[in-house]
């Protein structure tokens, strides 16, 4: 059978904050069958993860780093997601299998099995395997437990705290018995963090005129752990408030993705004298933690100790607005696009 596959592409390389108009919906004809001897897997995309890092792939090639492949205008954009196999020439996948891994910003994907695994939904909604039990969840888990090396009772600060990764870091930290403060970009998000997710405190960073003083107020005894999702001035203010042997996990720097010249300049004398560790990390280095992460997280969810925060829009045409919205704080929790019913 032949279908028309709708997919989203960039019109040109993007500098600054992305706009919906930077993208176009394209179509291609696709045969939903594989040629004899082919290794191809044809996947019907069901749920697609919308992630800030993709913006760094959309910039001019000179800005792309070796760990991420730059995107070409007009071409299919690969992305993490969940789908269903509709035809396969690959012996590891069969028609009808659910899969999680690299699919695309479109209705269908063709894969050769690269970074793709069979998915057992374990009776949980498929969308959970995109965010909570997907890359975002593992990033939160590995970043917090392996990079921050937290202890019960420690004081933890999380930025972009109502986002996909931030909300989970805060919830893991509460499970461990830490004092947790998050920052987010609206009153609604701040209330959600305190009232639903159990954060001890939260504040709207857009209303804070002096970030350093704000953090001093929420952490009169200093910060032991800062989980950084945003970089720039928030990182500088957090470093100024760190305790002796404090740990900073540099997960992301979203505020710097949209402004080429913006960089954090933390007080390095503070870093030296307080023996602060500032460690960047990439989730790909922690895949071995996946089984432990999944079982721990499902256990927390089933015991009602953690909440799942998802923000789902429907249809492949909503991908550009979903993506652009990440950089304007429109999402609450994991941003996912549901492409299709099964």
Residues contributing to the site for ligand NAP (CB under 6 A): 51-53, 136, 139, 160, 162-166, 184-186, 189, 229-230, 251-255, 281-283, 326-327, 329, 331, 335
CB of 134 to ligand NAP, least distance (A): 10
Q: Is 19 left (phi over 0), alpha (psi -120 to 50) or beta?
A: beta
Q: Among residues 42 and 249, whose Cβ is nearest to ligand NAP?
A: 249
Q: Among residues 4 and 68, whose Cβ is nearest to ligand NAP?
A: 68
Q: Among residues 38 and 191, whose Cβ is nearest to ligand NAP?
A: 191
Q: Among residues 34 and 208, whose Cβ is nearest to ligand NAP?
A: 208
CB of 179 to ligand NAP, least distance (A): 20
Largest CA distance in the chain: 67
Find the DSSP H helices in the chain: 54-58, 135-141, 164-176, 187-195, 211-218, 232-240, 254-257, 268-273, 290-302, 319-326
CB of 303 to ligand NAP, least distance (A): 24
3-state class of 245 per DSSP? strand
Site of tokens 């947790």: 180
Q: Among residues 5 and 241, whose Cβ is nearest to ligand NAP?
A: 241
Q: Among residues 45 and 159, whose Cβ is nearest to ligand NAP?
A: 159
CB of 90 to ligand NAP, least distance (A): 27
3-state class of 7 per DSSP? strand
CB of 185 to ligand NAP, least distance (A): 3
CB of 147 to ligand NAP, least distance (A): 9
Q: Which two tokens stand for residue 247?
A: 């740990």
**Per-residue buried b or exposed e for 167-177, using 16+ beta carbons within 10 Å of the residue's own CB:** bbbbbbbbeee
Q: Among residues 63 and 282, whose Cβ is nearest to ligand NAP?
A: 282
Report phi then psi at 16, rounded to 5: 80, -165
Distance CA 32, CA 86 (A): 7
Report phi then psi at 230, rounded to 5: -120, -25
Distance CA 13, CA 59 (A): 5
């Amino acid at each position: 059978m032949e279908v028309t596959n709708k997919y989203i592409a960039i019109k040109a390389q993007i500098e600054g904050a992305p706009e919906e108009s930077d993208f176009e919906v394209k179509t291609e004809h696709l045969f939903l069958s594989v040629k004899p001897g082919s290794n191809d897997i044809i996947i019907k995309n069901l749920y697609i993860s919308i992630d800030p890092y993709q913006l760094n792939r959309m910039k001019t090639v000179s800005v792309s780093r070796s760990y991420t492949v730059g995107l070409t205008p007009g071409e299919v954009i690969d992305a993490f997601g969940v789908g269903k196999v509709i035809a396969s020439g690959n012996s590891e996948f069969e028609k009808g299998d659910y899969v999680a891994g690299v699919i695309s910003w479109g209705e269908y994907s063709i894969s050769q099995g690269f970074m793709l695994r069979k998915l057992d939904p374990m009776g949980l909604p498929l969308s959970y395997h995109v965010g909570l039990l997907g890359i975002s969840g593992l990033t939160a888990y590995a970043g917090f437990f392996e990079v921050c090396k937290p202890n019960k009772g420690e004081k933890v600060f999380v930025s972009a705290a109502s986002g996909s990764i931030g909300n989970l870091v805060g919830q893991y930290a509460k499970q461990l018995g830490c004092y947790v403060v998050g920052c987010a970009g609206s009153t609604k998000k701040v209330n959600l963090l305190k009232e639903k997710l159990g954060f001890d405190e939260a504040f709207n960073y857009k209303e804070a005129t002096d970030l350093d003083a704000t953090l001093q107020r929420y952490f009169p005894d200093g910060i032991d752990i800062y989980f950084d999702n945003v970089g720039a001035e928030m990182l500088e203010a957090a470093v100024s408030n760190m305790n002796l042997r404090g740990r900073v996990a540099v997960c992301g720097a979203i505020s710097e993705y949209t402004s080429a010249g913006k960089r954090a300049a933390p007080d390095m004398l503070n870093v030296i004298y307080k023996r602060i560790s500032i460690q960047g990390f990439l989730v790909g280095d922690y895949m071995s933690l996946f089984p432990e992460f999944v079982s721990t997280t499902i256990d927390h969810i089933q015991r009602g100790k953690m909440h799942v925060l998802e923000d789902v829009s429907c249809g492949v045409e909503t991908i550009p607005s979903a993506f652009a919205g990440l950089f304007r704080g429109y999402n609450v929790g994991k941003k996912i696009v549901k492409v299709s019913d099964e």
